[in-house]
Chain A
Amino acid sequence: MIGRFDAKIPPGPLAQKWRNHRDHSRLVSPNNRRKFEIIVVGSGLAGGSAAATLGELGYRVRCFCFQDSARRAHSIAAQGGINAAKNYQNDGDSVYRLFHDTIKGGDFRSREANVYRLAEISNNIIDQCVAQGVPFAREYGGLLANRSFGGAQVSRTFYARGQTGQQLLLGCYQALCKQIAAGTVQMFPQTEMLDLVIVEGHAKGIVTRSLSSGKIESHTADAVVLATGGYGNVFYLSTNARGCNVTATYRAFKRGALFANPSFTQIHPTCIPVSGEYQSKLTLMSESLRNDGRVWVPKRKEDRDKLPGEIPETDRDYYLERKYPSYGNLSPRDISSRAAKEVCDEGRGVGPGGRGVYLDFADAIKRLGEQTICERYGNLFEVYEKITGENAYKVPMRIYPAVHYTMGGLWVDYDLMSNVPGLFVIGEANFSDHGANRLGASALMQGLADGYFVLPNTLPNYLAGQMGKRPSPDFPAFQEMEKEVRSRIEKLLNVNGTRSVDSFHRELGLLLWDKCGMSRHEKGLREALKRIPELREQFWHEVRVPGNGDDFNQSLERAGRVADFLEFAELMCIDALERDESAGAHFREEHQTAEGEALRDDENHAAVFAWEFQGDGRPPLLHREPLNFETVHLTQRSYK
């Protein structure tokens, strides 16, 4: 293995680890920073905030994104909010409680030290964003407003209408623009990273392709930061943007970086159900809707084709309120999603195909008036009407779970550095903070914590020993990698088959959703592991990628990404099979309590599963990082 497999958790009491670590980390002095070149791939909340902050500190940064502007990264679509332990509502919140909720929400499959640091930093993020001019919701006195969110019993979520991700991203995009103007950050939009270059065991650059001109180029650096988001699009249909992909992190995996917990994928409970074969994406309806909406299905399956208004109160099953009385409709995402699947599997699902449940606002409208509901969720109701043609003020919304976020990602240590020295991974692209399930309003928190506050403090710890070690782009490793990238593109263009890239992607997605989606079992996973290599084989014989490589070619872009998904999907299923327990979003049907809840196996599986690439066609090698809980007591999660 390249580098070391050591989480490097600092010693000392949990609450002092981060401070102790910073007190003893190495630094790079201001006049030396401009001698270091840092590559940041991705310009979302994690990448954008990291690139801007490193630029402010005086490093020379090159930031890459495949979108035509840094402002369009998919963080922009996050709706609900961002958590922080400010306790502005005086309702008993604290850093410890946010930490505890997050680690419990993750079903005890994340690192204590990382999660505690995240909770600690959460307050600085709000300060930072307000200073940048993020227009968070306010109360009449001018103070910041909060709301509650799934999986929490306090109101700690800060929000900007239903567009919190957009406003936070624009905040860091603007900080990035300032650094671009100042000359410390050079931006490369419409440029996709196609491989990682390792020189003498250290990550020292990347090979990219310009999506507008097709030009292949090498970029050298003293360190490479991947902030390339999640891989939810492996399922084809997800709430992710069309361009989201696994290529950067999967290429890094093939160059020696460990991939951790790839099977941990979050299925979000409140999305608009699938309506047709040619659907290209699923749209999320913010979880905040569950604050006022009540989830139900008919008690009897005979009633499922009736209009919702024809089903009297006594014939409705408000199953979340019934099963989880203390959290009710605000139960965590994994639990709510599975409960929806369960009632639909019983034949009580509503809408076309029977894959849907009602999210009903009638009681809230009666209690608060349509005006208030409109103020709170007006834009979401409009989106719903645009997509379905239905008015949710009059008839209940129909929702169903959809793939939304990936907790798995490249393995990183406490410094957010992978096992490959010099390769840092931040935001959704790493695995570190959400365990087996992420709580609402904590993805934005993690992306910004990593970019504004963690990485700028941990990167110097590596850089301090790297002065003058940046190779020139003529170095053979770069030439070889460019050649490999070119031949891969040629190969894709020369298959010249008959099927479109999307048709393979769709088929892979359906297979994974069925076998490695909301619930998994050994037999299904083995079937998927048999089918995926066959599908991959077909892809390389039957795909048709029109056009050429030296041009703007969207089919080629997608073909490269789908080719990587076709390999990565196998890794997901291998991980899901190996994790012979249920934990959070990973529900193995073989392991459940009498009430159908996820049953963990702490004795054997309280560990991070980190996979090492062993060569094409060979099974990856598993490394287990045991999770040691010093502060938290492991319990069966209960939201009853």
Chain B
Amino acid sequence: MNFLLRVWRQANAKTPGKLVDYEVHDISPNTSFLEMLDILNETLVRGEKEPVAFDSDCREGICGTCSLTINGEPHGPDHPGAVCELYMRKFRDGARITIEPFRVGSFPLLKDLVVDRSALDRIVQAGGFISARAGSAPEANSILVPKHDADLAMEAAACIGCGACAAACPNGSAMLFTAAKVSHLSLLPQGLPERQTRVLRMVSVMDAEGFGNCTNTYECEAVCPAEISASFIAKLNREYARAALQRGAGE
């Protein structure tokens, strides 16, 4: 298969970027999208040109490193799944494909298709954890968790932290990311002691990092490679309201 690629090239955050056209030829339909970019880069290196910088690591959809916007869609057309799980057989031969980075104000661009997503780490640092010092844990089966709650917590915990939710959102909101962590931990009995402070702090850092608000467009859910349900955002709002009321009442 042959493709015409329009790739965002930008040396660093200080210089302006632009879309540059490249052609790739004789690509097998069983090639993954990132392997197709590897092939492009091999050609560029052989032609003494600078290869395209793009992020990837596990290449099996779990580490959350890869972060491309393909034809305007974060992670490309094959949802649910990360870019590394996208295969060229999903495109028609001769297609013209535009490749851009995740575009979110809170993710500054480093180079070409690579952005800095450390804002997501800072949201977790604000409270996305359960304080359980190693050595102090009680016997595991002394904490009973109803299967339904454990399953639901797992659905939220499956988030891979890629940031596609924010990239897809017209407001650049990280609500789905934050909601997934808040929901995972507040659905479990172990997470209850810190329930109030957790949600208040995480939301406050999320706002401070410049992420926008949720206006229920559900773009986040549509592109999420881990199929995190937008209903967790409703849960985040409930958790937040509950915590704010409790705090207001001096509890």
Contact = CB atoms under 8 A, between A and B. Distances in A.
Nearest to B89: A389
A217 interface: no
B217 interface: no
B85 interface: yes
Contacts, number: 218
A250 interface: no
B138 interface: yes
B65 A175 contact: no
Interface in A434-492: 452-453, 456
Given A49-B134, A189-B118, A241 B50 contact: no
B139 A127 contact: yes
Interface string A160-177: 110100110010011101
B141 A456 contact: no
B158 interface: yes
A187 B39 CA distance: 34
Contacts of B41: 500
Nearest to B120: A69
Interface in A523-582: 544, 546-547, 551-552, 554-555
Interface in B127-159: 128-141, 143-147, 150-151, 153-154, 157-158
Interface string A382-421: 0100111100000000000000000000000000000000
Contact of B140 (A77, A127, A177): A127
Given A126-B140, A279-B35, A71 B60 contact: no
Which of A127, A498, A552 is the most central at the interface, judged by chain B CB atoms within 10 Å of its CB?
A127
Interface stretch (B14-22, B98-106, B182-190, B241-249): B182-190
Given A86-B140, A135-B153, A77 B56 contact: no
Contacts of A276: 28, 30-31
Interface string A116-140: 0000000010111111110111111
A126 B144 CA distance: 14
B137 A546 contact: no
Contact of A144 (B85, B131, B141): B141
Contact of A546 (B30, B45, B120, B132): B45
B121 A135 contact: no
A386 B140 contact: no
A139 B147 contact: yes
Contacts of B191: 133
Given A133-B188, A136-B150, A276-B28, A503 B131 contact: no
B74 interface: no
Contacts of B9: none
Contacts of A177: 121, 124-125, 128-129
A177 B120 CA distance: 11
A129 B32 CA distance: 35
A130 B134 CA distance: 11
A637 B64 CA distance: 40
B214 interface: no
Contact of A241 (B63, B89, B128, B161): B63
A243 interface: yes
A576 to B, nearest CB: 28
Contacts of B212: none
Interface in A275-318: 275-276, 278-281, 283-284
Contact of A142 (B131, B138, B144): B144
Nearest to A78: B62
Given A53-B134, A174-B124, A68 B118 contact: yes
Interface string A40-66: 000000000100110010000000000
A503 B30 contact: no
Contacts of B51: 546, 554-555
A178 interface: yes
Contacts of A56: 133-134
A552 B114 contact: yes
Nearest to B143: A130
Contact of B144 (A127, A137, A143, A174): A143
B61 interface: yes
Contacts of A138: 145-147, 150-151
B130 A242 contact: no
Contact of A178 (B61, B129, B145): B129
Given A74-B63, A241-B59, A452 B129 contact: no
A208 to B, nearest CB: 17
Contacts of B116: 68, 212
Given A135-B184, A174-B129, A128 B46 contact: no
A304 B160 CA distance: 40
B68 to A, nearest CB: 14
B59 A386 contact: no
B66 to A, nearest CB: 10
B137 A124 contact: yes
B53 A143 contact: no
A181 interface: yes
Contacts of A143: 141, 144
A128 B134 contact: yes
Contacts of B59: 241-242, 280-281, 283
A72 B45 contact: no
A452 B144 contact: no
B45 A69 contact: no
Given A130-B137, A135-B150, A138-B147, A280 B38 contact: yes
A240 B135 CA distance: 31
Contacts of B120: 69
Contacts of B32: 280, 387
Contacts of B64: 69, 71-72
B30 A547 contact: no
Nearest to B55: A68
Given A130-B140, A178-B129, A241-B57, A69 B121 contact: yes
Given A138-B150, A181-B126, A189-B118, A127 B78 contact: no
Contacts of A74: 57-58, 63
A96 interface: no
A189 B38 CA distance: 24
Contacts of A511: none
B42 A137 contact: no
A141 interface: yes
Nearest to A166: B62
Interface in B1-59: 12, 28, 30-32, 34-35, 38-39, 41-42, 45-46, 48-51, 53, 55-59
A76 B184 contact: no
Contacts of B153: 133, 135
B157 A174 contact: no
A302 B214 CA distance: 61
9 contacts: A49-B134, A129-B140, A130-B140, A130-B190, A142-B145, A180-B125, A283-B59, A387-B32, A500-B45
Given A144-B140, A166-B62, A500-B41, 13 more contacts: A67-B63, A72-B65, A130-B190, A131-B136, A144-B141, A177-B124, A178-B129, A178-B131, A189-B121, A278-B28, A452-B135, A546-B48, A555-B45
The 4 A-B pairs of least Cβ separation, nearest first, read A142-B144, A174-B129, A131-B137, A131-B132
Interface of B: 12, 28, 30-32, 34-35, 38-39, 41-42, 45-46, 48-51, 53, 55-65, 78, 81, 85, 87, 89, 110-111, 114, 116-118, 120-121, 124-126, 128-141, 143-147, 150-151, 153-154, 157-158, 160-161, 184-185, 188, 190-191
